[in-house]
Every structure is written in C-alpha cells, then in structure tokens.
Structure 1
C-alpha cells in the first residue's frame, strides 16, 4: 500500500470512529472499544486519532457532549442535573464549571438568556408581533450586502436536526486530512434547505461542505455543490452554533422586511470562520448568508 493509500485508509477509519462517538454519546466510550471500531491496535489507536483529528478522544467527546448540552438548554426543560449527567459530569457544579469555561457563561444563565430571546413557534398574531418587537430591541446584528463569489464544495448530505450536522463535517475533515487537502485556507460551509419550524426535525435537509481543489477524488456519498455567485445578506454571529436560530430570527423578522430586498431562489448557507476545535464556543465565528434577488 502506498503512503497516499495508507493515509486515506487511516482517515476512513477515524471517520468511522467519529461517527460512532456522535451516535453513542450516552455510552461509555472506552479506548479499547473505539480501537476496535477503527480496526487499529489499542497500542497505537489513540496516537493515530490525535494525528488525524488534532484532538484527543476525551477532548472530542467532551466537545460533542457540551454542544449537545447547549442545544438541550435552549430547546428543552430538562433539569440541569439531568443534562449534566448526560454530558458525563458527576455533579451540576462540575458541569457548570466546564460549560462556563467553554461557553463563557454558566448553563443556567445560558438557558435563561437563550430562551428569553429565542422565537417560540405557533404563537398568536399579537404574541408574534410582541416577540418580533422584543427581538428588534434586545438584539442587533450587523448585516451587510455583499457580492459572494461562487464557491465549489465537496459536500455530504445530512438529514435531521441541523445541530447534528457536525458528524458530517467530522467525516469530511477525516477524508480531507487523508488526502492532504486541509490547510489555513480551507473553507467550511454548511447549506441549509429548510426552515426548521416548517417540518419535523427528521425531515430537515442540509449538507456539510468543504472548499477543496476540483481535482479531489470524491469519497462515498459525496457530491459537488456550488454556493454564492450573487449578492447575499451576510450576518456575522459570534458564539455557539446552538444560538444561530436567534440570528436567523433577527435576519428574517427584523432585517429583511425593512431592507427593500427580496430573497433569491437559493438556500441559506453558513460559513464557519474559525476552527471549533481550537477556540471556545464563545469565540466561534459564523457568517450566515441569505442569497438575494
């Protein structure tokens, strides 16, 4: 097997492990078991995992569990103790310290602020107007109109909750790493086809994408897609991905009706401007792009 073929094989095995971790966050994720998923010797698995992903298994598990916890804090009424246990912490205090270190605020405060500002579906007309007014006064994002050049992406399809698209990005990064395609200029873009309030979570359609050279050989389930190629309304959001629905609410409820512009016949896409593995969630930068006519 050539060096290139070996690199691809390693990436595919680690991709399989990342998918297994994402699907079994409530289970005990032992290194010996994960090494079996990867078909690597337990003596060497973890070093290979770190070399491919840039983080330890413990860091990957912690990151994915804290992201799920942030989503649950915003979307559910689960008790903090239950969320802490699901995230792998023995006490609310330990969970609160870890969450605050990653997200910049304790989980109770994060839940309070997020649920105060997040739009509530199926409201009456007067309630919806009050909520939209509250969003306009409580939030402000800078929205700019820009010419977005066409970007060609290798994509993987995702079906279901948008907050779980990270598994597809993990697979893409493992594939791209194996092909030697990752670098400082690599662009990470997600395409979102549906309004999350328009249909059941299981039916939502999205794609995870990476901008790589057009000569790149595609892996299983991958396809080429293009985004951009016209004007977009660009909103820059700083903070956890779990908060992005608030940014969309501002974009559609506050900015668009007063902009004098109409949306184009193309889905929204998000560009993730820094590496979520190397900076805390409070520092994550996302550019939300709404194509315009």
Structure 2
C-alpha cells in the first residue's frame, strides 16, 4: 500500500496540469480507488484532490513570480480554463491573488512533495479481528454534521445532548444484534472528504430485522460484508483517532484486506462518567485485497 501511495504521488507530480485516472492507477496497484483515496487521506491528513490543488498552486506560484508568461497561459498549464478559476484556486492556497503575488512577490504557502514511509520500530500490535455480518440494521437519531478530523466534534456533542432524557435507555433496550451497546455511526463520507464537509452521524444501536422499531427513529441498512474490528482503550476520542491512523500505517499494509464503502461504527464498551476515557470497538467495512 505504501508503494502504491508513493507511485500515486509521483504520478501527480509528473502530471500536475492533467486529470489523473485514479481508478486505473489503483487497479494497476492491485487495489481500489476507494481504498487508495481513504488511505491517502488517513496518512496525508488531506484528501488526494486537496493535495493535487496545493501542489499545483505551489508550482504555479513559481511561474507567477519568476516568469513573464501571462496568467491565462499559466492557468491553462495547470489545468484551468480561465484566469478566474485559476485565481480562486490560487487564493484558496496562498491567501492572495496571482496578480498581487506577481507585483509583491508574496505571500506564498508551499506544499512539500509528499513521501510515504512505513516505520516499524516500536510498533505496537493492534488488537483486531475479522468478522462477517450477513446484514446490519442500525437505528437511532441521525443528523448531518461537518467532518472534524481531530478532537471532539462539537456538532455531534450537541446532537447527543439534545436527545430526551431516558433516550439512551430506550435505544439500549432495542439492541439485540452485533455490534452491542450504544453506537456512534458515521456514514455518507465522501472519498475525498475535506475537513468541514458534511457526513451523516447516527447515534443508535444495532437491531435484528424482525425487531419492531419505533417510527421516530432513523435507520441505516447495511448489506452483508466483512468488517475489521479494532479494540481501543484510553483517552477519548484520541485513542479512536490514533487507531484509525494506525490502521492505515500498520494494519492495512500488513494484511490482505482493503476498505470498502460503508459506515464506520464505534461501539462504546466501557467509559468514564465524563467520557474522558473509554474502551471502544472501531468497526470498519473491508473486503479481500
């Protein structure tokens, strides 16, 4: 997987002004576009599309400052059909418009050329298991929230706090299928999801297909498939976020599995009263690589 990511970075660098066929690149690397994009985001801390935009604008800035080429010529060179579209992308990265930078020499923000490495010194074995679920029926209270990569998501916190008193007990009483306990479910996450993009969050439980469900609850039906389940323990949510990152750096490169589309599920097995620490299971949908 690390080799595939580095080949992707090299292709991006060689074709900054062109549209890359990520599906073909992934197939040549023996994986899927979905898995390649998700692993890139996990390790780079940004989606592929954002990295491409930053690298284009880093290189374009040298042309804006150091050449006499017209701005339209530079825009076309980097895949933009107009100076307006180029200017918006340039401003989003550098915080200044191309014409101002050409006059003043800055300000400029550089995106270094990425290189992925697999570090094995001091690695800690990950507590994981593979299970197959025929189908999953997840029910609870759903809301659209912005994606936040690090720390507690205040929008999710507010959603949970808005639930009526006794609602957790009612949900727990419905739970009669794996995963057990109260679940934190994220779904509809785009392949190239940037921080702040919208996703579906469902606070609920897993139930059997014959279990009567109150009409006021939302539901997510998940088809049959395999799941990798990681158990984490420690500061919350840092331990979970560290496990997600470690799955990309340590577990997936060492195992014949790759991510497939589907929701990610967190089952809280034990927790401190203030939720500062917790023991959890992180469920991720996978398929054989």
With the length of structure 1 as denominator, give the TM-score of the two structures: 0.46
Q: Which has the higher helix share?
A: 1
Greater Rg, structure 1 or structure 2?
A: 2
Q: Tell me which protein shows more strand as a share of its residues.
A: 2
